Amino acid sequence: MHHPYSPRRGRYSWANSRKSSFLGKIKEYIAYLKKANKTTLIKNALLACIAIALAGSIFLLGAFAWLSKDLPDPNSLTIREVPQSTKIYDNTGEHLLYEIAGEEKRTLVTLDQIPQYVVWATITAEDRNFYQHGGIDYKGIARAIFVDIITLSRSQGASTITQQLVKNAILSNEKTFTRKFKELLLSFALERRYTKDEIMQLYLNEIPYGSRNYGIEAASRAYYDMTVEDLSLAQSATLAAIPQATTYYLNNPDELEARKNWILGDMAELGYITQAEADTAMLEDTSITAYYSDIEAPHFVLWVKEQLEEKYGQKEVEQGGLTVITTLNFDMQNAAQTAVINNRDARADSYGFDNSGLVAIDPNNGHILAMVGSVDYFNDDIDGQVNVTLQPLQPGSSLKPVIYAAGFEVGYTPNTILWDTKTEFGTATGPYSPNNYDGQEHGPLTVRSALQGSLNIPAVKMLYLVGVQKAADFAARLGYTTLTDPSHYGLSMVLGGAEVKLLEHVSAYGVFATEGVYHEPVSILKVEDANGEALEEWKESDGQSVLDTNITRMISDVLSDNVARTPFFGANNYLTLGSRPVAAKTGTTNDYKDAWTIGYTPQLVTGVWVGNTDGSAMSRGAGGSAIAAPIWN
């Protein structure tokens, strides 16, 4: 008999021998189990469980020790670091747009000086189980983890008031799992060290309320010129509404008002106040104005600040000494602001408008080169702080190129004939019969003439042929986020019945300029911390191909055809740039409430909106070609 390792038997004999030996061991173990009594089996099972638990504990303790090695002391709540200002620059890094001063305004108060309204409103807005939990909202954490896993992101938060105190007073605001773990540990430590009322007092003295106001007393003095003790119920709810997104709410008064009213309504439901008290408080004017000085391109800068706060937290942005390089072109921004102001001075009285907005983008990378959010940021009469470039507005006929492009994708062309005659369309909400802006019918027309003439009846027919849902899906590929409910506006979508944001509208036209490539709008190129370490940096990308090149070329050919436009707008109009080829489209909503012009070259896309802040109608004739196109030109 040969040895299993004998060369004469070879590798396969060795393997077979190993297999037989292994099977033998299994048989022996099975025989052992049959002979073993239950006590022995249970004992072995318990020993195995203990071994596994011990190994797991050692692992967890090791992880705990590693994460805890540099935990700050909760007592650091009373220690203040020297704040450093954050600087926001244009795309060259040479022009300082705004310096977020590092000094903070803070006046400490005790809980007995703070009205119960403030505490109740804060609990309602931020942490309704504050007096019941031990610092952690386990259900909220489970929900956040689930959403983060499903979306493959770390965007969800479930922070209690205790956790927010830790985040704002001790830790940074970065959204990483290790920082979240440290936050949990410190929250437990705070709950053991302080009473609930002490934590609430620390929170109300620490939390940021915007414009460098930290703590409820500083906010009361800055926004209402009174001490916290004199705040009304409505004012308390308004201040409690701010910390969730300070810059956003301070620059969007309608959203702040809505959040205030939501808090008041829920305070009544929770039994803190009566419904009558809530209704009365909702009627009280508690508007807030945030004041900024020495700031260039305020709407753009504060939008950038809002994005930074979302990523890094308000404390880091206002005191962390960041250096921010944006995409803004300083010279183009100044030219845009001058054009908007000159247009107001020349035409506002005649046409009855009070506000305007402008966005300019490099379509080849999505860089926002200019953004004018209102004609005057500091004019409260027109709610100048509101950035109209980010607000949903009815686009009028400026949405027609998107619908016609959707038609081209399914086989229609600029030479397709559409009949411009009175037509009644059957819809889910009843008959729909659009009219042209001139009240006339023009018979058979090519798509080229219909689009350049901005005629309504042919545009509705094209949308009918494409399908409203398909057109909405097509628009989503171009970056629109507001066209999500086709059943709400139906065929009127193509005439401006839906709403779009100027920023997204301009970005979508950028797809035509790049012959089918979409680049998401970009506002920040680079962010460095106080030590010069890069926290984020924009990288060049190829973008996303969303349209066939031939489709975009057909649209650009039509929109740049001034000959086709001449019968409707005349040969000499604001939609041309001399001998330079340019594609452009205007838009005007019913009753002259919104006027638009969007146009592009391969290197630049610019969009303009003109109207009234309160949504009232302008004078008759205040169309896009008359009051928006001059700014664009």
Q: Which of 187, 397, 492, 507 is catalytic?
A: 397
With CA atoms as reference, report the closest residue to 310 among 401, 245, 396, 381.
245
Cα 286 to Cα 389: distance, rounded to the nearest angstrom: 25
> To the nearest 5 percent, what fractions of the chain are helix, strand and coil?
50, 15, 35
Q: How many CB atoms lie within 10 A of CB 432?
A: 16
Beta-sheet pairing, 544-545 with 425-427: unpaired
Q: Which amino acid is at 456?
A: N
Which are the contacts of 307, defined by CB distance < 8 A and separation ≥ 6?
A: 523, 524
With CA atoms as reference, report the closest residue to 540 among 360, 364, 324.
364
Say which DSSP state 490 is in. G
Active site residue 126: yes
Active site residue 398: no
Cα 135 to Cα 553: distance, rounded to the nearest angstrom: 59
DSSP labels, 372-403: E-SS-TT-GGGTTTS-GGGSEE--GGGGHHHH
Q: Which of 126, 183, 306, 504 is catalytic?
A: 126
Buried b (16+ CB within 10 A) or exposed e, 398-410: bbbbbbbbbbbbe
Tell me if residue 57 falls in helix, strand or coil: helix
Cα 460 to Cα 162: distance, rounded to the nearest angstrom: 56
With CA atoms as reference, report the closest residue to 604 among 625, 630, 577, 570.
577
Q: How many CB atoms lie within 10 A of CB 589?
A: 23
Give burial (CB, 10 Å; 0-12/13-18/19+) of 285.
exposed
Q: Which residues are known to be catalytic?
A: 126, 397
